[in-house]
Each structure stands twice: as C-alpha cells, then as structure tokens.
Chain A
Amino acid sequence: MDRRNFLASSAALGGLAVFGSFQKALAQGTGPIKIGLLTPLTGVVASGGKEIVEGFNLYWDQVGKKAGGREVQVFIEDDGSNPDIALQKARKLTEQTKVDFLVGDLLANTGLAVAEYAKTTGIPYFIPVIAADDLTQRARIPNVLRVAGYTASQMPRPLADYAYKKLGYRNIITISQDYTFGHEQCGGFAQVFTELGGKIVAQHWNPLNTQDFSPYLAQIQAAKPDAVFAMETGADASRFIQQWSNFGLKGKIALLGAQNATDQSVIRTLGAEAAGIISSAHFAEGNDSPATRKFVDEYNAAYKHLPSIYGFSHYSAALWLAQAINAINGNVEDRPKFLAAVREVVLTTSPLGHPVHLDKYGNPIYDVYIRDVVQRPDGKYWNVPIATYPEVSQFWTYDPEEYMKQPPYSRNFQGIKKS
C-alpha cells in the first residue's frame, strides 16, 4: 500500500488504542465507596434533577465525604429525562465505572427501566424519588429499596380525605401527566374520594411536555367542578399554574395539587399564581419544626434557594445510606448484609423531625401534611402545613395483601368506586 493508506490505517489503529485506554483501573477491596447517582440534568424535569445533586452532595459535604471509615465518591450521570438514556447510563455506571450501588432518577419511567436492569444484575438501587407504586408492592425487587422515598398513591390519599371531609368538595376533575406517576397519584386520590362518596366528574391526561393546556382548561371551565386535582411536574407544572391563572380559573374553581405541582422547584419561579394551592406531602419546607428549620436554613445558605422535594429526599437518602454503611463498617461489597442494614435503619435525624423507617415491603411510613402555599415575609412562596395525617403507609387504611389483589393503577383502572 502507498504511504497515504499506511498513515490512514495507522491513525485508525492509534485511535483505537486511545479508545482502549479508557479502561479504568479496577478498585481493589477497601478503596473508596463508589456511588452512582443518576439524575435528569437535561429534559423536562431538569430543574428537579439539578436539586437531586444538590441535596445528595450537601450531606456528603457536611460529613467530609466519608462513611463506614472509607472515602465516598459520587459519580453523577445525566439520564436525560428519558428511559433509554437512563438505561445506557446505568450500564455505564455499573459496568464501566463499577459503582457499588445506584441511587436516583426522577421520572417513573426511567426508574422502572433501571429497576429492571438492577433486577437482572443484582446491583443495589435506591430510589428516593421514583414513586412507581409496584416497585414496593406487587413487583417488588429485593435489591431495589425506596430509601427516604414514597409511593405515588401514598401522598394524595390524605388530600382526598381532607377535600371530602374538611373542604366539603363532592365533584372533582383530575388532570395529570400521562404516565405511571400521574396514573397512580390520580388513582390513589380517586379511590379514596369515591369510597367516601365523592364523584370524579372527568379525568384528563396530558402528554409530558405539554406547552398549551387551554383545551383542557376550556373543558374544565365548562364542567364547573367543585375542585380540580392537578398532577403535573417540572416545566409542565409551571406552565399549568400560570395558564390556570391566565385563563381566569384562579379563585373561581379550587385547585388541589400533587406535591410535585407545588414543589419549591416549581413555585419559586412563579408568583401569586401559586398562592392558595392545597397539596399533601411528608415534607413541607415551611414547617416550623426545629429539624426542618435547621435543614432549610442550611440548604438555603449553601444553594441560595429553598429546598424542594428532590433536594430533601436525596439529602435524607444520603443520611439513611450513611447510617446503614456505618452499621456494617463500610462493607458495601457484601450486598445481602448491606441491603439488610438499609432495611433496618430507623432514621431519627431526618429533617422531618420524626423517626422514619421502611415498612415490610420496602417503602417508608410518614406523617403526611396537608399544605397550603403562602407567601413569606420576604416575598417568596412556600408550603406550610395546615393539617397532619399521622403514620400514613403506602397502603393507607387498606390491608396490604387485600390491596395488592386489586390491579395496579393505570389509565384504565383508577380505583373509582361505582356508586
């Protein structure tokens, strides 16, 4: 071959050698503990994704990046708010970076994809935000635990109870993003509300990343319900709340929100449009319990904004995992021992101010607050508790085994009791 061909093929081989040199040296035994944090840094829920990193890192920075006597390294990967990319990154973290366990993800569909991967490879996967019900119910996986997390249907049930009994609503329309998290939140709400005797007049489902809600708002306006339960997250939630106000429905029809709709990550960019929306969650940044106050102040000092559910849940998850790691002296390589330690943790130092532990099925039990969005003296808006429902589990007042006999919530099954 002539010189040009030779140069070209050598360059190709040389390039290959560079490609090959990306192999990382394998950690031996007692090196640092490697944590793989998957989070959406781009896409529709990027605002929440960024705060996942903030909350998680805040804890590790506070304890000097150590646990169980070993150094802790956090490897962050962007899951792009997309299950295909989440799966790719999970593979990369597990097979190339060789992390000891995975944490994170935000959207339920990304979590389900990675959970399936965790199931086949056995790597521990902790999901403080992924709320897909079945991951701790019918389809529970031994190495997937909802550390410091919650199920989608766990939180709206007290709200449905409050809406019927205290606020006196009888006819409600639900509008929600059309994916598992939305189906389950609405299902949890609808089942309790209809069992008490209320009526779900209509249910609207919008695709993720809906820019224009006016077709739905027009239908809601025509139907004139007592209240609307809105399950939106991220950019969709901001747009919905703004358009609700611009459309003229604010003040005319009561608005109940899922906790994600009135989450700090959404309302801090809005103004008065967000005031007065009632939601329910285990975390209310306006709660004046000392533990919550301390956490909110520390978070605000570090990041110059109030913590959202994403920041809070990953801070608590880091706290939880550190407690488990300390209990087993840093031996995370022994996966059964590590998972057992995580299950046994009773978290007394959580920013919630009350002890939290996992139920038999891998999901925590919380006191749930009914929250209202009010304005602080400095002009910012936050969620303040106005009522408390103690010890709410993922099963509400139902018997777990009986409850799991009914199908999982979906677009077709919303638990609506036929009267």
Chain B
Amino acid sequence: MQSRTLWTALVVALLAALPLLLTGYQTSLATLTLIYALLAMSIDILAGYAGRTPLCHGAIFGVATYVVMYFVTTAGGSPWVGMLLGILVAIGVSLVFAALAVRTTGVYFLLLTLALGMVVWGICQRWTSVTGGENGLRGAVRPAWLLDPMHFYYFVLAVGLVATLVMWRFVNSPFGLTLRGIRESESRMKSLGYHTTRHLIAGFMFSGLMAGVSGVLYALFNSFVSPSTVALAQSVKGLLMAIIGGVGTLFGGVVGAAVIIALENIVSSYTERWSMVLGLLFVLTMIFAPEGIVGKLRSLRRGAKK
C-alpha cells in the first residue's frame, strides 16, 4: 500500500500547486475539471461498482444547479442554503429514478434512465415560469470571497477531496462490497439473503448525492443554467469521462474529466472538429484500453510486479 499513498500524496500536491503554475483562465478550467470529475466518479459508483450503467446523472447534476440558481436569483436566498437544497433535491430525484429503474439491468436500465433524464429535460425546457425555459436562469451566485479563480479553485479542491474520500470509503466498505457482489451475480446475492433492490436504491441515492454536490458547485462556477445543463449530452459526457478514465477504478473519473475538458477547450482552439478527435480517442480507448486509462495503468503495474 505504500506506493498507493505515495501516488495519492503526489497527486494531491500537484493539484494544490496547479493555480500557482497556471493563469486565471486555466485555473478556472482546472476547477471545471474537478467539478466534472465528481460527476464522473458518481457515475462510476453505479456503472463500475454496482454494474448498472446510468444515463441520467446529467439530469440529477443539472437539477441541483437549477435549484441553486432559482433559490439565489429568483427567491433571493443565500447560496449556502441553496446548495444544501440542491443536494437534497438531487437525492430526492435519485430516489425516484432508482425506485423506477433499479429492477432492470443492462440495456434496459440504460434506456430507462435515459428516458427519465429526458423527462427532467422536458420539464426544464417547458416550465418557463420557474426554469426560464430556453433562456435559463442567470445571475451572480458566487459569494464575494470566492470570486477570485484561485480561491474558488481551492474551495472546490477541498470539497472535492472530502467527497472523493467519502466515495472511496464507501466503495471499500461492506456496503460497497455488497454492490460489487450484486454486479457479479445478483441472483447469488439474493440467495444469500440480501435485499438487492434496497441496496441498489441506496447506492443510487448515494451516487445521486455526489452528482448533486457536483451540480451545486457548477452553479457557483457558471452563475448560469439552461436546459442544456440537464440534457442527455451532459449524462453522456459524464459517462464518457468515467469510461475513458476507467470504469470501476473511481479515480478514473478525474483522469477522464481532465482528458475531455482539455479536448473541449484546448483542442477546439485548433480545430472545429474537436469532437471527431474525441470520438477517435474513445474508439482507440475501447480497442486498446477498454478498462480505461487508470485501469490500464493499474494492470500494467500489476504486470510489472510479476
């Protein structure tokens, strides 16, 4: 375990040193990466550890963002209370989704969660009096002491590290092991006496909680929300980040988020066809490293140890 702690310390030190090496704009990109990393990791909990791949986490993420934006700009409340409400609403939405979807598996689960995500998108698009419809909601949400990109980065890093620690403890806990057991063989777990449905619902709600944390941070980052924040593309983006990083590795979410955000923002300066580059990368990853970048690194290290 020594190399593991050394790695972790190295990564945390690197992340803490980033704002000192980058410009204000690049720091804000790094902050966005951390926010999306949380989303990707929350998806990984379901996809990688429970074995159910969801396409609705973009909607849960976006709903949390909407709650914060609405609470602060329309209802005139404090951003902190708004963030708490956002996370609670995210948990509530995941409960509803889980209750409806958890009895299905594989492709059916994927499609059902996709449909549920679309319902949320439809509501955000049409409920113009609350969500602002296509125009979305905008207004200054970030508290004054977080306006500086560096301060905000450290705030998000702190929240992110705590959330990651919680997620890591979760997937290595007995409950997390139960989820992995359900992934391996749900019927065997049932015959051992586990209420797999309840476990999956609880796991889904935890995953939704983390997606909600990511969503409320995004509200502070962007000070703007629109139906595209809850759209299917957002769920797909999060899932892609999880897959490219490595499904089932948890930390793959961070790597995947970094790769995709770098592509979106840096490569797009050089070519309009950056999404082709992303597609190509995805195809290559699936062919040569289906376990993702972190998964590949881990299996290489395991191979080297032999």
Contact = CB atoms under 8 A, between A and B. Distances in A.
A16 B21 contact: yes
Interface stretch (B48-56, B96-104, B129-137, B167-175): B129-137
15 contacts: A1-B6, A4-B301, A5-B6, A19-B262, A20-B21, A23-B23, A83-B228, A84-B222, A84-B224, A91-B28, A96-B25, A109-B135, A207-B125, A410-B128, A411-B133
A120 B140 contact: yes
B222 to A, nearest CB: 7
A83 B23 contact: no
Interface string B24-63: 1110100000000000000000000000000000000000
A4 B224 contact: no
Chain B, interface size category, equals 35 or more
Contacts of B10: 9
B297 interface: yes
Contact of A92 (B3, B21, B25): B25
Interface string B3-16: 10011001000100
Interface residues of A, number: 40
A237 interface: no
Contacts of A208: 134
B148 interface: no
B14 A113 contact: no
A16 B30 CA distance: 11
Given A83-B226, A178-B133, A208-B134, A96 B262 contact: no
A117 B300 CA distance: 46
B199 interface: no
Contact of B300 (A4, A23, A83, A95): A4
Interface of A: 1-2, 4-5, 8-9, 12-13, 16, 19-20, 22-23, 41-42, 78, 82-85, 87-88, 91-92, 95-96, 108-109, 112-113, 116, 120, 178-180, 207-208, 410-412
Contacts of B222: 84, 87
B105 interface: no
Interface in B234-290: 262, 265-266, 268, 272
A54 B262 CA distance: 29
Contacts of B26: 19-20, 22-23, 96
Nearest to A26: B23
Contact of A78 (B6, B272, B304): B272
A141 to B, nearest CB: 13
B22 interface: yes
Given A2-B304, A19-B262, A84-B226, A113 B138 contact: yes
B106 interface: no
A88 B221 CA distance: 11
A113 B226 contact: yes
Given A22-B266, A84-B228, A88-B265, 7 more contacts: A12-B14, A19-B22, A82-B226, A83-B135, A83-B224, A84-B229, A178-B126
Contacts of A8: 297
A178 B127 CA distance: 12
Contacts of B18: 16
B77 interface: no
Contacts of B28: 91, 95
A411 B126 CA distance: 11
B143 interface: no
B134 A116 contact: no
Nearest to A75: B269
Contacts of A113: 136, 138, 224, 226
| Candidate in A9, A113, A412 with the most chain B CB atoms within 10 angstroms | A113
Given A84-B222, A95-B25, A109 B128 contact: no
Which 6 pairs from chain A and chain B are nearest by CB? A179-B134, A95-B25, A96-B25, A116-B138, A83-B226, A109-B135
Given A19-B26, A83-B226, A113-B224, A180 B134 contact: yes
A41 B300 CA distance: 42
A179 B28 CA distance: 30
A109 B226 contact: yes
B134 A178 contact: yes
B289 to A, nearest CB: 14
A180 to B, nearest CB: 6
A1 B8 CA distance: 13
Contacts of B304: 2, 4
A22 to B, nearest CB: 6
B139 A116 contact: yes
Contact of B134 (A9, A78, A96, A109): A109
Nearest to A13: B14
B302 to A, nearest CB: 11
A91 B297 CA distance: 35
Contact of B128 (A4, A19, A22, A411): A411
A12 B254 CA distance: 13
A22 B30 CA distance: 14
| Candidate in A2, A41, A109, A116 with the most chain B CB atoms within 10 angstroms | A109
A348 to B, nearest CB: 36
A269 to B, nearest CB: 21
A4 B3 CA distance: 12
A207 B231 CA distance: 14
A95 B228 contact: no
Contacts of B25: 91-92, 95-96
A87 B25 CA distance: 13
A2 B301 CA distance: 10
Contacts of A4: 300-301, 304
Contacts of A411: 128, 133
